[in-house]
Structure formats: C-alpha cells, structure tokens
C-alpha cells in the first residue's frame, strides 16, 4: 500500500553526501496498536523536512523513537550515514539531534542562561560554566538572529520567545538536526512567520530541521520536502514545490477532503445573546476579560479569534456559567442571565445554552465513564432518564445509541469506556450531546482540537447546519483557518479586550494576525493592505 517515492534529495546536493537521518524499517507496537509500520525515511542534510499526518498517525511515536524515548521493535537509525543505537535522549543529543517539544521543558523562574545550561553546567562550580555559556550563547544568538536577552527570566518572556529559548537549548548542546513538534500551536501568525525565518537561517547554516505539524499551510510555507503518515505507515514522500495542500490532505486521510466549507450567506435574525461590559477575573484576581460587549444573533456564527491565553477561554466559561462574572451583564433572549447570583451552568443549560468546552478531557467528559454515562453529563436530571428514584439506564442507552448514529460516532457502542474512543469520536459524542438538545445558543470552544481531518469536516458541517437551523453559535478557536472559514462575523481578542470586529467574508489573515497582536483594526487593515 506504500506509494513511497524516494526522490527526496536536498537542495541541489548530490547523493554522495549521506542523509542527515535515515530510518530503515522502523517498527513499533504498543500491545495491539501497531503505531509504526516498517517506516523508511530519508532526510537530506541542510533541508527543512515536514512530517504531516492526522492525530494518531504515528508521527510522535516515530520522533520519540528517533529521540530515544522509545526503542523500536525492529529497524535501524542512521545519522550522517552511521548506524546509531539511540537508547535515550542523551544518545540522541550525542549524535547531534535536538528536540523542541510541543510543551516547553523550561524552568520559568530561571533566566534564559540558566535554562540553557541546565544539565550541561560543566563542573561543580557554576561560575566557570556560566561564563563559557554566556560567550557561546552570544555567538549562537547572533549567528541565528534569535534576539534574546540571556539574563531575562523565562517566565516573563512571551511564548514565542520561550520557544526560541528551547531552540537555543538544542543548539547549545550541539544539535545539527532539530526536531520541532507542532511548534506553531501557541503562536500568532506573525510569530510563526518569525519562527520560519529562524528555521531558514538554521538551514542556511547547514542544520537540518524536521517539522512535525498537522497544518498544511505551514508545510507549504516552510519546508523543502514532506513525508505523509497515515495509520502508522509512511504513505508518501514529496518535494514541497511539487505537491499541493489538496494532495497532502488526501494522502493523510486516504480520500478526498473538502478543505473549504460550503455555506450560504447567514440570515441573522433576533438577538439571542447580548453581552454588556463583561469582566471576568481568574482565581488569582487577575482580570482576564475586560469590558467585553457584543451581540450574537440567531442564525449566525460569531467567531472569537485570538492567540491562546488572551481571555477567550475565560469568556466562554463565564458565558457557560462556570466562571463567576465580576462585572457586566449577560442577556439571553432579553432575560438577564448574568452568571453568579443564582445562575449557574445547570440553569443556563435549562434555558437553552449548550456548551462544547475547549478541553473535552478536562471538562467535556469523564473518560473513566462509559459512553452512555458520558452522554448524560449535564443532563442527568432530564425526566426522560428517571424511573422512580433511579436512573433509567435503558432509556439512556437508547438515547446514546441515537446520538452515536446521528453523529457517526465509532464504534457505536454505548457501553464502551469513553477513554477508548479516538479524539474525533469523543468530540463527536460531546457535540452530539449538546447539539441534539436543540439549544438556542451553542457555545463552542476549539471544536476540532486533536480531531482528525475526516471528523473536522463533519463537525464543521454540523456547526453550519446549526446556524442554518436558526441557532446562535459562538465559536472560540485558536485555529485561524477554522475561524475564517466558519464565522459570519469575527471578533478579535487580545489581552482580554475585544480589539475589533471583522465581517467573515472580508477577513484577511494578516490583518487578523496583527489585531491578535493588539494592533488597532484601522492600522491593521492599512498595514495588511500594503
């Protein structure tokens, strides 16, 4: 079934230079799960190589094997043409492999310098090592134009800068090959562009970069060559200039996928949700949402764009009644439903507010429960589920079966533990539970996070169907593509403030990106227009 085409030679180099990384027949099983099926991969020196695939396609497993977290059951790893036995991250570092993890491994109260030398202090007395490191760091930082103050405290740095500290760490340890695992998830488009510039500089200096991502746009923008993984197998290698996002997504999913959602114009009707001067504080008393005011009408999807951590989560949770509102008011169909003071999540649900939370594992479901138990979360007091004083599990099972059939949840087994479903199917179950209640207002956070492409398409269609059925939908997502393709109106949040509103059809990625970074709308449009 493999249609591997080994044409992936680097930037004009001849075959005499051994590839930076060559994997031959890497095979790995976790019990019954065959995570990597005899993978062959060749990455030329001095290139940026992308690896794409859906969640669970085996990308992370493969990289973990390369970095020594797991040992392959079969197969060999060759670095610079030499056979390597990588048994742990120390071995990987020793042969010049560095890794920037999706979740940073940094000590926040330490300075940049202290973080970089952590583990390679060089001797019992710290001072000698620190002096040497300062020197080396300056050189690296200038060579790759990373713009980082070595004495800054890491906890004070923005996410984008923290990521550069991670890159610096790898370079300081002598990395010739840099693996980045989903590096742009937490960045604004501008920060991501800066990251790609840094990667290109690295490439020019002769380093090899491996970029793992599920965002095809980034593959197209940043890489020289790309490999596609599907269900544990390497299904294709392509030169980036010779492929297209459509081809890559088809290879990832194994069938044709609609990347753009077909939807007609919105027909906004009455105001369903009115938010006035809403302020929300977090547990530490820090104001996370500042004077937010906006309307959501029936029959429209309003998207909230913003870099993760700019108050969107708090706004969504406050509207769902999970967080207490500090100031301001919320009206649902004209009635005051400001959360706190007797209005909680349960009551909002009864009034027709459904909520698909941002993190289904943390909030949306109890993974230890069976699907049918997960399917009544928040609705366990429904009279249809009661029989005298007891819960009517037969009725619940029937309802769950119906939800599963309607939303194509696989396997459609109400008695299976929620943890045993894939991310996409868990999300479909949560959406089914909320949407099938026919709510007036649907609050959705990150509807497709950790969801495979096939399910993304399905979920997007259902959200548009909700809109067309005359419901109000408020969508929070850090995926700009998702916001732009679904929303009829886009609100941009930065540091807790709604900095501007853009009509969905008019949205421009660059302008949105600038607004997400706090630039005023007029200026953003002007700059983006240039």
Partner 1 sequence: MTTSLQLPRWIDAGVLPILNLAMAFLISGLVVLAIGESPLEVVEILIYGAFGYDEAIGYTLYYTTNFIFTGLAFAVAFHCGLFNIGAEGQAYFGGLGVILAALYLDFLPFPIMLIVAIMASAAFGAAWAYIPAYLQARRGSHIVITTIMFNFIASSLIVYVLVNILRPTGSMTPESETIAEHLRLPFIHDIAASFGIDMASSPLNLSFVYAIICCVLVWLFIWHTRWGYAIRTVGANAHAATYAGIDPGRYVIMAMLISGALAAFMALNEVMGVQHRLLIDFTAGYGFVGIAVGLMGRNHPVGIFLAALLFGMLYQGGAELSFEIPTISNDMVVVIQGLVILFTGAMEHMFRPRVTQIYIAWRSRKMAQEAA
Between 344 and 481, CB nearer to partner 1: 344
DSSP 153-185: BGGGS-HHHHHHHHHHHHHHTT-SEEEEESTTT
User: Are 396 and 352 spatial neighbours (Cβ–Cβ below 8 Å)?
Assistant: no
User: Are 141 and 147 spatial neighbours (Cβ–Cβ below 8 Å)?
Assistant: yes
The 3-state DSSP composition of the chain as helix, strand, coil percent (nearest 5) reads: 35, 25, 40
Minimal distance in Å, beta carbon 355 to partner 1?
7
Between 277 and 347, CB nearer to partner 1: 347
Cα 479 to Cα 338: distance, rounded to the nearest angstrom: 29
- Kindly state the helix (H) or strand (E) to which residue 62 belongs, with its residue range: helix 59-66
Contacting residues toward partner 1, per CB under 8 A: 30-33, 35, 56, 58, 60-61, 320-322, 344-349, 355, 357, 362-369, 373, 376-378, 380-381, 386, 389-391, 393, 417, 419-420
Phi, psi of 274 (to 5 degrees): -125, 125
Minimal distance in Å, beta carbon 122 to partner 1?
35
Between 58 and 299, CB nearer to partner 1: 58
Find the radius of gyration of the CA atoms of the chain: 25
Minimal distance in Å, beta carbon 77 to partner 1?
19
Between 170 and 455, CB nearer to partner 1: 455
Classified as helix, coil or strand, 73 is: coil
Minimal distance in Å, beta carbon 357 to partner 1?
6
Minimal distance in Å, beta carbon 132 to partner 1?
39
Between 413 and 495, CB nearer to partner 1: 413
Minimal distance in Å, beta carbon 424 to partner 1?
15
Distances (CA, A) of 449 to 98, 314, 456, 520: 27, 18, 9, 29
- Residue 343 zone, left/alpha/beta (φ > 0; ψ -120 to 50; rest): beta
Minimal distance in Å, beta carbon 231 to partner 1?
12
Between 316 and 507, CB nearer to partner 1: 316
Between 35 and 79, CB nearer to partner 1: 35
């Amino acid at each position: 079934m493999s249609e591997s085409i080994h044409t992936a030679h680097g930037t004009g180099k001849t075959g005499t230079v051994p590839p930076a990384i060559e994997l031959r027949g890497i095979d790995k099983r976790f019990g019954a799960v065959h995570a990597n099926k005899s993978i062959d991969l060749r990455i030329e020196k001095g290139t940026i190589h992308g690896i794409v695939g859906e969640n669970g396609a085996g990308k992370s497993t493969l990289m973990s094997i390369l970095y020594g977290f797991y040992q392959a059951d079969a197969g060999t790893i060759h670095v610079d043409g030499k056979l390597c036995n990588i048994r742990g991250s120390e071995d990987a570092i020793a042969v010049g492999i560095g890794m920037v993890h999706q979740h940073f491994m940094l000590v926040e109260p330490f300075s940049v310098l202290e973080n970089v030398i952590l583990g390679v202090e060089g001797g019992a007395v710290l001072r000698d090592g620190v002096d040497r490191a300062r020197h080396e760091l300056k050189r690296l930082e200038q060579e790759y134009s990373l713009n980082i103050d070595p004495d800054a405290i890491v906890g004070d740095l923005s996410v984008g800068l923290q990521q550069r500290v991670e890159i610096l760490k790898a370079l300081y340890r002598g990395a010739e090959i840099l693996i980045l695992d989903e590096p742009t998830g937490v960045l604004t488009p501008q920060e991501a562009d800066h990251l790609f510039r840094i990667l290109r500089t690295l490439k020019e200096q002769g380093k090899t970069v491996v970029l793992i991502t599920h965002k095809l746009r980034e593959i197209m923008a940043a890489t020289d060559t790309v490999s596609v993984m599907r269900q544990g197998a390497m299904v294709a290698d392509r030169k980036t200039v010779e492929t297209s996002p459509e081809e890559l997504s088809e290879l990832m999913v194994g069938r044709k996928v609609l990347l753009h959602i077909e939807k007609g114009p919105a027909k906004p009707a009455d105001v369903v949700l009115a938010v006035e001067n809403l302020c929300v504080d977090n547990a530490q008393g820090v104001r996370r949402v500042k004077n937010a005011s906006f309307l959501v009408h029936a029959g429209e999807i309003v998207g909230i764009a913003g870099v993760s951590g700019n108050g969107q989560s708090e706004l969504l949770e406050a509207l769902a009644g999970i967080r207490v509102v500090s100031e301001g008011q919320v009206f649902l169909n004209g009635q005051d439903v400001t959360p706190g003071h007797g209005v909680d999540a349960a009551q909002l649900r009864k009034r027709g507010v459904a909520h698909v939370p941002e993190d289904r594992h943390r909030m949306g479901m109890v993974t230890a429960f069976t699907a049918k138990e997960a399917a009544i979360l928040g609705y366990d007091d429904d009279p249809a589920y009661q029989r005298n004083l007891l819960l009517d599990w037969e009725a619940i099972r029937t309802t769950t079966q119906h939800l599963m059939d309607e939303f194509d949840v696989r396997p459609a087994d109400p008695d299976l533990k929620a943890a045993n479903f894939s991310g996409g199917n868990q999300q479909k179950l949560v959406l089914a539970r909320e949407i099938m209640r026919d709510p007036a207002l649907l609050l959705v956070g990150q509807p497709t996070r950790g969801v495979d492409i096939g399910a993304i398409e399905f979920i997007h269609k259902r959200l548009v169907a909700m809109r067309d059925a005359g419901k109000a939908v408020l969508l929070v997502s850090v995926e700009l593509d998702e916001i732009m393709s679904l929303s009829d109106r886009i609100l941009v949040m930065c540091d807790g403030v709604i900095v501007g509103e853009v009509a969905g059809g008019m949205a421009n990625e660059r302008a949105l990106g600038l607004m997400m970074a706090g630039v005023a709308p007029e200026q953003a449009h002007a700059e983006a227009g240039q």
